A and B are shown apart, each in its own frame.
Chain A
Amino acid sequence: MTQATDDERRLLLIEAERLGLIVPPAAIAGVVANQRLLARHYDVVHGALADEAP
């Protein structure tokens, strides 16, 4: 698992705080890895929708 960057950590903590969630330090790297995976899936979804756009 690639280390989370400082920007990724900062953004994660801000987003989590908005949901009233405190991300345990032990979870940060794993959550960021999952966020990257979800972002890749979103790219696929977004790309498929863009393909059908007029």
Chain B
Amino acid sequence: MIRVPDTASAIAAGVRDGRLSAQGIALDTLDRIARHDGLNAVTRLLGQRALADAARVDAAVAVGRDPGPLAGVPFAVKDLFDVAGETTSAGARQRAGAPAAGQDAEVVARLCAAGAVLVATTNMDEFAYGFSTENAHHGTTRNPHDPERLAGGSSGGSAALVGAGLVPLALGSDTNGSIRVPASLCGLFGLRPTFGAVSVAGVYPFVERLDTVGCFARSPQDLAIAHAVMLGQALTPAAGGRPRVAVLGGWFAGRAAAGVLAGIDRIAAHLEAGPPVVLRSAAAARSAGFLLTGAEGGHRHLSALRRDAMAFDPVTRDRLIAGALQPVAAVRDAERIARRFVDEVADALVDHDLLLAPATPMSAPRIDATTIVVDGQTLSARADLGLHTQPLSLAGVPILSAPLRQPDGTMPIGVQLIAGPGRETLLFETAASLVAAGLVACSPAPVRAEAA
């Protein structure tokens, strides 16, 4: 058994200079994931492919060729990314008979070309419609910090694997918060990139006007490296000078646990934030996101629902049918609110470089909880996990969920760092500075200690 470093950058450095073997890391990773199947994070281990890819990386190192910036780094992908030779399930049993993908999704291919080694596909809410990774076909993914609690969703399998320290990188998709919510609940860094910046080719769609793909990692540096590879270009440093920062008030301050608001206040003080900014249409934008998602999701799956509605996960089926049945007026009005909210966010980002908001209103709910009282209000322990992520998705801006530093034994919770389109580098640099200041930290999960 080898000691695999915690971060992608440390693994790649070891493989590139020959101290570590990519094949050894792949074998160890596959073995540890198999031993921790209680998390229920994985839908498929890709052992044969992983070992073959790792052998190619080692061979490149042996002959002095550049193996790439992610040499030998094991990673996993949510089971909606095409993987050559495998059926993309999108978390749905009814897709079991679909043809296997002919090639990898573009971002998967880019990561592999950079030397990363794909080891597994991961559990998700069926068709990415949910915030909890409770799947009627594959079961519920457990939070690595407490297996009695949700990992969040819909990219929960990917987040749980990274949170447990079983892989340093994993891919998810974020339509309404499906990277940011599980990143918050599992205590990770997770990026929803600028809408349209990273290719979604070969990724099973949910709501095309909102779909993005991004990465989970245990450090902002790893997130930046993976983002650059997925983007296909080197990142340029953010413009100098102190960023102009504000906390989002109103909707984003009124429905959140005291701990997350206190953590955001500490970050705001450190970054010398100005007065809070209120986005007047935030509540309506959250509702608009709900309506638009239901409508597009419902119509996407309408023909399959006509054929065999009972093949769906019951929870997804009922959401999709209700979504498809919405009146046109509801969709039209939701579009008007979405446009108004996009303008409000754009205006706020004229005077500010960075906005701060909770990533989730609460830390991970217990799996058996249906509601949670936060700030004196009873919230759904499922749908309301996206209270603070869902409206911001409409704006198409890049958002990094960073884990607040917490006392030992406290369940993790994250903060959203929000910047203007194309300003991901500012997010990575800010997150790294917050780590250095001790305000943000990826805390080890108990299961991670066992995994080591």
Interface residues on B, range: 20 to 34
Q: In terms of DSSP, what is the predominant structure of the interface of chain A?
A: helix
Q: How many A-B residue pairs have CB under 8 A?
A: 90
Q: In terms of DSSP, what is the predominant structure of the interface of chain B?
A: helix
A19-B324 in contact given A27-B309, A42-B287, A44-B283 (Cβ < 8 Å): yes
CB-CB nearest in chain B for A41:
B287
Q: Give complex CA distance A44, B383 in Å.
A: 16
B317 close to A44 (CB less than 8 A): no
B291 close to A21 (CB less than 8 A): no
B-facing residues in A6-54 (Cβ within 8 Å):
12, 15-16, 19-24, 26-27, 30-35, 37-38, 40-42, 44-49, 52
Q: Give complex CA distance A40, B294 in Å.
A: 13
Contact indicator per residue, chain B 309-322, by CB within 8 Å of chain A (1) or not (0): 11000110111011
A49 close to B336 (CB less than 8 A): yes
A-facing residues in B301-359 (Cβ within 8 Å):
302, 305-306, 309-310, 314-315, 317-319, 321-326, 330, 333-334, 336-337, 340
Interface residues on A, range: 20 to 34
Contact indicator per residue, chain B 7-39, by CB within 8 Å of chain A (1) or not (0): 000000000000000000000000000000000
Q: Give complex CA distance A31, B283 in Å.
A: 24
A21 close to B310 (CB less than 8 A): no
Q: Give complex CA distance A33, B370 in Å.
A: 15
**Of B283, B309, B314, which one neighbours A22 at CB under 8 angstroms?**
B309
B288 at the interface (CB under 8 A from A): yes
Q: Give complex CA distance A27, B317 in Å.
A: 8
A38-B322 in contact given A27-B314, A45-B333, A48-B337 (Cβ < 8 Å): yes
A23 close to B333 (CB less than 8 A): no
Contact indicator per residue, chain B 378-402, by CB within 8 Å of chain A (1) or not (0): 0000010000000000000000000
* Cross-chain pairs A/B with CB under 8 angstroms, 20 sampled: A21-B305, A21-B309, A24-B309, A27-B318, A27-B321, A30-B317, A31-B318, A31-B322, A32-B322, A33-B318, A34-B294, A37-B322, A38-B291, A38-B330, A40-B287, A45-B284, A45-B287, A45-B334, A48-B284, A52-B340
Q: Which chain B residues have a beta carbon within 8 Å of chain A's beta carbons?
A: 281, 283-284, 286-288, 290-291, 294, 302, 305-306, 309-310, 314-315, 317-319, 321-326, 330, 333-334, 336-337, 340, 383
